[in-house]
Amino acid sequence: MQNYNYPNELGFFGDHGGLYVSETLIAALTELKQAYAEAKADPSFWAQYHSDLKYYVGRPSPVYHAERLSRYLGGAQIYLKREDLNHSGAHKINNTIGQALLAKRMGKKRVIAETGAGQHGVASATVAARFGMDCTVYMGTEDIQRQAPNVYRMKLLGAQVVGVDSGSKTLKDAMNEAMREWVARVDDTFYIIGTAAGPMPYPAMVRDFQCVIGNEAKIQMPELIGRQPDVAVACVGGGSNAIGLFYPYINEMSTRLVGVEAGGHGLNGHEHAAPITSGSPMGVLHGFRSYLMQDEHGQVSSTHSVSAGLDYPGVGPEHSFLHDIGRVDYTAVGDEAALEAFHLLCHQEGIIPALESSHAVAWAVANAPKMGKDEVILVNLSGRGDKDINTVAKLDGITL
Ligand SMILES: *Cc1c(COP(=O)(O)O)cnc(C)c1O
């Protein structure tokens, strides 16, 4: 992987990515691409970004040796990259800080965002308050019903939440609406996309902001174990926490990289959210080309996962490329195994993980016993599970 240098000038990672938007959005995306290229080359931009990550978010996040869990499983040593300890509870803030700083630099006074479960909406509302910008979050009305606490959190933080009543009334429709709104008010508005997807330049820009995860881990692992881990594993929804961990390791060929998609109720039917693993043909959604869950007529299929953050029919284009070239192994973990891993981490380590992150933990739970005691798995613990306790309680037949 010596010459890994993607995306190309047109925003493609091999066959994936690009810019598939209406003409009205081209100007906005070209302006954004230019502004980000200038910011990326400006050390003062990164100084501000790292200062905010240190004093506001609480970085670097520690790497923790899950000794009891490792002993319980009886194989490889499991280490956790603790993104759950970040301010606002997940990795998402690494990206919203970066994009909000860019919005400020571009003179935009208003940010908009799409959200599904509400995590990205909360992370966007958080940074909008931090930087004194107006914030509007688009959310499907179905999701507004299901995620009332996060809707209220966004309002507490001063954001306006706009219900989207079209299509399946969920994330995919919220993203369409946010793009429409951006076209209408591009002069004063910055669109903060929540994962490493969307049209160029978003996938690479979000990756750059999330790379802090892998860059820190690359320094922390040698301090802890004298070398890099044998495996680094992360859950994949749109793919931002995973690419943030993987990207700095792409040339580190002794570290196997594993991306875990949501297997839902199983890969045979449609009740999953595993566009790479389930081998769906390529499609275009939300301005980029990538593996996509679609039916025989090319329509985007509905998806299912117990974790709302993984419940997305597409996947960031760089993951599709890393799958094509074989650098990252993608697999799927179902609802049941993720829930088992959730409870196991609670009991063995006193850590309540996000249901999304529990998919990555579940991979370690299944594979550590097959590995030697001197081997090491690094799990990206992308977020904390406080937001998920109602879901878990309900599945356990308990009403809170
Ligand atoms: C949103 C979310 C995810 C999924 O998003 P990616 O872009 O794939 O990282 C994973 N974990 C947590 C905790 C999330 O909030």
What would the pLDDT profile of 214-247 be if each residue is shown by its tens digit? 999 999 999 999 999 999 999 999 999 999 999 9
**DSSP designation for 294:** B
Alpha helices in 230-375 (DSSP H): 240-246, 317-324, 335-349, 355-367
State in Å: Cα 279 to ligand 1 middle. Answer: 22
Quote the tokens at residue 239.
């793919």
Are 159 and 40 in a shared domain? yes
Q: Are residues 267 and 368 in the same domain?
A: yes
User: Are residues 309 and 328 part of one domain?
Assistant: yes
Q: Are residues 82 and 43 in the same domain?
A: no
Q: Does the beta carbon of 357 sit less than 6 angstroms from any atom of ligand 1?
A: yes
pLDDT band (50, 70, 90) for residue 362: very high
Same domain, 257 and 357: yes
CA 200 to chain centre: 17
Q: Are residues 148 and 256 in the same domain?
A: no
> Of the residues 149, 175, 206, which one is the last residue of a structural domain?
206
Is the CB of 354 inside a 6 Å radius of any atom of ligand 1? Answer: yes
The pLDDT tens digits of the residues spanning 107-121 come to 999 999 999 989 999
CA of 251 to the centre of ligand 1 (A): 24
Please check whether residue 190 is in contact with residue 162, taking contact to mean a CB–CB distance below 8 angstroms.
Answer: no
- Is residue 103 within 6 Å of ligand 1 at its C-beta? no
Q: Is the CB of 238 under 6 A from ligand 1?
A: yes
Does a structural domain hold residue 9?
A: no
Verdict on whether the full-model pTM lies above 0.95: yes
Strands (E), the chain: 12-13, 16-17, 63-65, 77-82, 110-115, 134-140, 160-164, 189-192, 231-235, 256-264, 282-285, 288-291, 328-334, 376-381
Residue 2 lies inside a defined structural domain of this protein: no
> How many whole angstroms separate alpha carbon 247 and alpha carbon 318?
10
Q: How many domains does the chain have?
A: 2
Q: Identify the pLDDT of residue 3.
A: 85
| Model confidence at 373: pLDDT above 90 | yes
Return the ligand 1 atom nearest residue 210 CA: 9
147 and 233 co-located in one domain: no
DSSP 8-class letter at 327: S
Residue 76 shares a structural domain with residue 108: no
Instruction: Give me the active site residues, please.
Output: 92, 114, 382
- The amino acid occupying position 388 is D
Q: Which of 189, 206, 223 is the last residue of a domain?
A: 206
How far apart, in whole angstroms, are the C-alpha atoms of residue 346 and residue 134?
Answer: 38
Whether the CB of 259 sits within 6 Å of ligand 1:
no
Residues 196 and 226 in one domain: no
CATH label of the domain that carries residue 199: 3.40.50.1100
Q: How far is ligand 1, taken at its centre, from the CA of residue 381, in Å?
A: 10
pLDDT at residue number 236:
98
Is 13 a domain residue? Answer: no
Q: Whose alpha carbon is nearest atom 14 of ligand 1? A: 309
Residue pLDDT, tens place only, 380-393: 999 999 999 999 99
Residues 219, 368 within the same domain: yes
Could you tell me which residue, 295 or 39, shows the higher pLDDT?
A: 39
Contacts of 178 (CB under 8 A, 6+ apart): 112, 113, 114, 138, 191
Domain stop point among 183, 206, 229: 206
What range defines the domain where residue 271 resides?
60-89+207-395
Say yes or no: 198 and 216 in one domain: no
Instruction: Quote the ligand 1 centre to 23 CA distance (angstroms).
Output: 30
Q: Residues 82-91: pLDDT tens digits? A: 999 999 999 9
